[in-house]
Structure 1
Amino acid sequence: MAALVDELLVILHGLWLRRWLALAVAWGVCLAGWLGVALIPNSYESKARVYVNTQSLLEDKVGITQVQAQQDLDRLRQTLASTANLERVVKETDLNRTVDGPRDLAAKITKLRETITVMAQLDPSMIDISATWANSGLSDGANARISQQIVQKLVDIFQETNLSSDKVETSQSLAFLDQQLAARGKQLAAAEQRRVEFEQRYAGMLPGAGSIGQRMDAARSEINSIESQLVQAQSALAAMNGQLAGTPQTLPGVGASGAPSALAQAQADLASMRARGFTNSHPDVIAAQRQVDLLRGQGGGGGAGTPNPAYLSIRSMQAERAATVQGLSARKAQLQADLNAMASRQTDEPGLAAEQERLDRDYQVLKTQYDKMLADREEIRLRGDVKSETGSVQFRIVNPPSLPTAPAAPNRPLLLLGVLVLGLGAGVGTAFAAAQLKGGFPNAARLEKALGACVIGSISQTVNAAQLAAERQRMKWFAGASGGLAALCLLLIVIEFVQRGLA
Structure 2
Amino acid sequence: MEDLVRQGVGILRGMWRFRWWGLALTWVAGALAAVVIYTMPDRYESTARVYVDTQSVLRPLMSGLAVQPNLDQQIAILGRTLITRPNVEKLINMADLNLEVNTPAQRERLIADLMDGLRIGGTGRDNLFTLAYQDGDPQRAQRVVQALMSLFVESGLISKRQDTDAARRFIEEQIRSYEEKLSAAENRLKDFRLRNMGLLGAGGGGDYVSQLGGVHAQLEQARLELREAINSRDSLQRQLQGEEPVLLPQTPNGSGVSIPEIDGRIDAMRKTLDSLLQRYTEEHPDVIGTRRVIEDLEAQKVKEIELRRQSGGGQFGSLNANPVYQQLRLVLSETEARVASLQARVSEYEGRLADLRASVELLPKIEAEMAQLNRDYEVHKRNYETLVQRRESANISVEMDAQSGIGEFRVIDPPSLPTKPAAPNRTLLMLFASLAALGAGAALTFLISQLRPTFADGRTLREVTGVPVLGAVSMLHDRQRETSERRGRYAFAGGLAGYASAVAVVTVALNMLQG
Q: TM-score range by the shorter chain?
A: 0.5 to 0.7
CA shift in 2, pair 1:436/1:306, >3 Å: closer
CA shift in 2, pair 1:182/1:69, >3 Å: closer
Aligned AA for 2:45? Y
Aligned mates of 2:377, 2:235 — CA distance in 1: 58
Q: Deviations over 1:392-427 (max 9, x none)?
A: 965342514432514443213433565567668878
Q: Deviations over 1:287-320 (max 9, x none)?
A: 969969xx99xxx9xxxx9987656655554444
Q: Deviations over 1:31-80 (max 9, x none)?
A: 46533663456262524231433476974995599xx9895522441254
SS in 2 for 1:409: coil
Q: For structure 1, which segment, 354-363 or 49-58, has the greater mean C-alpha deviation from structure 2 after superposition?
A: 49-58
CA shift in 2, pair 1:274/1:26, >3 Å: closer
Query: Which residue is 2:429 aligned to?
Result: 415
Aligned AA for 2:355? A
Query: Which residue is 1:388 aligned to?
Result: 400
How do 1:35-434 residues align onto structure 2 when only pairs under 5 Å count? 35=36, 38-39=39-40, 42=43, 44-54=45-55, 59=60, 62=63, 72-82=71-81, 87-92=86-91, 93-94=94-95, 97=98, 108=111, 112=115, 115-121=118-124, 124=125, 126-134=126-134, 139-160=137-158, 164-165=159-160, 175-204=169-198, 206-208=201-203, 209-241=205-237, 314=328, 316-344=330-358, 346=359, 350-368=361-379, 370-371=381-382, 374-375=385-386, 377-378=388-389, 381-382=392-393, 385=396, 388=400, 391=404, 394-397=407-410, 399-405=412-418, 406-416=420-430, 418-419=432-433
Q: Deviations over 1:149-170 (max 9, x none)?
A: 223322332344xxx45x7776
Query: Which residue is 1:496 aligned to?
Result: 514
Aligned mates of 1:425, 1:270 — CA distance in 2: 134
- Cα offset, 1:142, TM superposition: 1.2
Q: Deviations over 1:107-154 (max 9, x none)?
A: 947963784334234xx2x1232344346xx63421332133223322
Aligned mates of 2:428, 2:219 — CA distance in 1: 103
The answer to whether the Cα contact below 8 Å between 1:55 and 1:69 also exists between their aligned partners in 2 is no
Query: Which residue is 1:443 aligned to?
Result: none
Aligned mates of 1:432, 1:352 — CA distance in 2: 97
Aligned mates of 1:353, 1:114 — CA distance in 2: 74
The answer to whether the Cα contact below 8 Å between 1:145 and 1:403 also exists between their aligned partners in 2 is no
SS in 2 for 1:48: strand
The answer to whether the Cα contact below 8 Å between 2:45 and 2:141 also exists between their aligned partners in 1 is yes
The answer to whether the Cα contact below 8 Å between 1:118 and 1:127 also exists between their aligned partners in 2 is no
SS in 1 for 2:127: strand
Aligned mates of 2:147, 2:131 — CA distance in 1: 9
The share of aligned pairs that are identical, in percent, is: 16
Q: Deviations over 1:249-303 (max 9, x none)?
A: xxxxxxxxxxxxxxxxxxxx9886999569xxxxx99x969969xx99xxx9xxx
Aligned mates of 1:40, 1:454 — CA distance in 2: 58
Q: Deviations over 1:200-239 (max 9, x none)?
A: 3335354554123322322222222222222233334444
- Cα offset, 1:367, TM superposition: 0.8
Aligned AA for 1:363? N
Aligned mates of 2:144, 2:119 — CA distance in 1: 13
The answer to whether the Cα contact below 8 Å between 2:82 and 2:152 also exists between their aligned partners in 1 is no
- Cα offset, 1:380, TM superposition: 7.1
Aligned mates of 2:116, 2:231 — CA distance in 1: 96
CA shift in 2, pair 1:329/1:115, >3 Å: farther
CA shift in 2, pair 1:274/1:495, >3 Å: closer
Aligned mates of 2:363, 2:320 — CA distance in 1: 66
Quote the RMSD (CA, aligned, Å).
5.9
The answer to whether the Cα contact below 8 Å between 1:48 and 1:130 also exists between their aligned partners in 2 is yes
Q: For structure 1, which segment, 101-110 or 393-402, has the greater mean C-alpha deviation from structure 2 after superposition?
A: 101-110
CA shift in 2, pair 1:454/1:128, >3 Å: same
Q: What is the count of residue pairs matched by the alignment? A: 409
Aligned mates of 2:405, 2:325 — CA distance in 1: 86
Q: For structure 1, which segment, 169-178 or 145-154, has the greater mean C-alpha deviation from structure 2 after superposition?
A: 169-178
Aligned AA for 2:115? L
SS in 2 for 1:81: helix
The answer to whether the Cα contact below 8 Å between 1:34 and 1:416 also exists between their aligned partners in 2 is no
Aligned mates of 2:68, 2:247 — CA distance in 1: 92
How do 1:469-480 residues align onto structure 2 when only pairs under 5 Å count? none
The answer to whether the Cα contact below 8 Å between 2:232 and 2:335 also exists between their aligned partners in 1 is yes
The answer to whether the Cα contact below 8 Å between 1:25 and 1:430 also exists between their aligned partners in 2 is no
Query: Which residue is 1:250 aligned to?
Result: none
CA shift in 2, pair 1:41/1:352, >3 Å: farther
Aligned AA for 1:117? I
- Cα offset, 1:328, TM superposition: 3.0
